[in-house]
């Protein structure tokens, strides 16, 4: 049932992608905002309580409905699974930004590419050159694919899969919503959401990196993962981007500089070490390579899931 649910949800999404501003997501955003306004009194414990309330209000009903559907009819359970996977997956939810950037760069319209990237990433793209636009688009697509597809896949495979998939997506959203906005960056309220999502995403992030390595340049992906992943503040992001960049043969990210550089010689060694990262500078062609990498990784996950489902059925 798991394999069929994911396959049907992917097919439906190809026909009718779910918009990022759909009513369900809007209600979840409003709930998270209301809980933050009501519970944020400046302490981490309030964020912990708020996290459990939001996640509980969304995952418990999901699990109960799944249980009732399975009791009534397995077909009802399948339909509920397909609905939840469709709502939590986002394979094409943000692809229009990526496609627009790709088309703009191919047409030589750098201004349009900067505008689309600014809309997507919510960053200032003024003065960005083509390699930087390409690099940021590649990075954004790899992270979005992991969090909207492969992370959901992993948790949907767990017992009470629909509830686990909802838990993953809600946790990912709360980690961003309670940390990234300007007024929340130094707030203790979002600490618990960030820590919980770190552990929830610990294994899925590594499995995504493994998938990228298998379907891409395995040697460079593993080398970059082992030697460059720890240069990013966000561990999961570092693993995915270093492995993904190695698999594509592209240098990604802006690695953190070492906190202490004792001498000029040390600084030169550090610069040389950064330059030794395998791969070339990102170009518009790199965006097309990302599409191939993501599709191959998706097919790998589906193949493994099909084999697992067949083994269980036997």
Per residue in 288-310, pLDDT tens? 999 999 999 999 999 988 888 77
Per residue in 168-200, pLDDT tens? 999 999 999 998 777 777 788 989 999 999 999
DSSP code per residue over 22-50: -HHHHHHHHHHHHHHHHH-SS-HHHHHHH
Length of the chain: 314
- Average of pLDDT values for 132-141? 93
| Whether residue 247 has pLDDT greater than 90 | yes
**Cβ atoms of 165 and 154 closer than 8 Å:** no
**Cβ atoms of 141 and 102 closer than 8 Å:** no
Phi/psi of residue 18, nearest 5 degrees: -80, 130
Question: Which pLDDT score, from 0 to 100, does residue 94 have?
Answer: 77
Question: Which pLDDT score, from 0 to 100, does residue 144 have?
Answer: 92
Q: What percent of the chain has pLDDT over 70?
A: 91
Higher pLDDT, 258 or 99: 99
| Whether residue 264 has pLDDT greater than 70 | no
CA distance 248 to 212: 9
What is each CA distance from 24 to 9, 127, 178, 196, in whole angstroms? Answer: 17, 37, 19, 23
**Cβ atoms of 93 and 20 closer than 8 Å:** yes
**Cβ atoms of 289 and 248 closer than 8 Å:** yes
Q: Is 79 helix (H, G, I), strand (E, B) or coil?
A: helix
DSSP code per residue over 181-211: SGGGTT-GGGHHHHHHHHHHTHHHHHHHHHH
CA angle, 29 as apex, 96 and 183 as ends, to 5°? 100
Per residue in 50-85, pLDDT tens? 999 999 999 999 999 999 999 999 999 999 999 999
- Average of pLDDT values for 89-108? 85
| Whether residue 86 has pLDDT greater than 90 | yes
Question: What's the distance, CA 63 to chain centroid?
Answer: 24
In this structure, the number of other CB atoms found within 10 A of the CB of residue 10 comes to 18
CA distance 173 to 123: 18
Res. 263 pLDDT band, cuts 50 70 90: very low
Res. 249 pLDDT band, cuts 50 70 90: very high
Q: Name the β-bridge partners of 250.
A: 280
Question: Which pLDDT score, from 0 to 100, does residue 268 have?
Answer: 44
CA distance 19 to 22: 5
- Only one residue has tokens 């948790």, namely 155
CA distance 278 to 172: 30
CA distance 310 to 314: 6
**Cβ atoms of 237 and 261 closer than 8 Å:** no
Q: Name the β-bridge partners of 283.
A: none
- Average of pLDDT values for 251-276? 47
């Amino acid at each position: 049932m798991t394999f069929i649910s994911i396959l049907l949800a992917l097919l439906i999404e190809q026909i009718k992608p779910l918009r990022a501003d759909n009513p369900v997501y809007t209600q979840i955003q409003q709930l998270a905002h209301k809980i933050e306004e009501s519970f944020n009194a400046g302490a981490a414990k309030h964020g912990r309580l708020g996290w459990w309330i939001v996640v509980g209000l969304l995952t418990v009903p999901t699990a109960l409905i799944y249980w009732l559907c399975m009791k009534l009819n397995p077909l009802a359970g399948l339909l509920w699974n397909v609905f939840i996977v469709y709502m939590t997956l986002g394979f094409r939810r943000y692809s229009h930004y990526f496609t627009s950037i790709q088309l703009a760069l191919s047409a030589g319209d750098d201004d349009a590419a900067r505008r689309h990237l600014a809309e997507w990433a919510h960053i200032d793209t003024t003065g960005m050159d083509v390699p930087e636009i390409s690099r940021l688009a590649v990075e954004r697509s790899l992270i979005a694919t992991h969090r909207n597809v492969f992370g959901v896949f992993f948790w949907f495979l767990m017992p009470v899969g629909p509830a686990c998939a909802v838990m993953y997506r809600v946790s990912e959203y709360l980690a961003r919503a309670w940390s990234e906005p300007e007024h929340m960056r130094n707030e203790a309220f979002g600490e618990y959401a960030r820590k919980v999502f770190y552990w929830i995403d610990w294994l899925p992030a590594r499995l995504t990196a493994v998938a990228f390595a298998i379907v891409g340049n395995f040697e460079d992906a593993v080398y970059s993962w082992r030697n460059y992943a720890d240069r990013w503040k966000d561990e999961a992001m570092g693993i995915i981007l270093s492995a993904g960049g190695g698999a594509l043969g592209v240098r990604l990210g802006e690695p953190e500089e070492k906190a202490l550089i004792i001498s000029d010689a040390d600084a030169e060694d550090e610069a040389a070490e950064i330059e030794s990262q395998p791969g070339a500078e990102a170009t518009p062609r790199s965006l097309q390579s990302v599409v191939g990498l993501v599709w191959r990784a998706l097919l790998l996950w589906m193949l493994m899931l099909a084999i697992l489902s067949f083994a269980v059925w036997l």
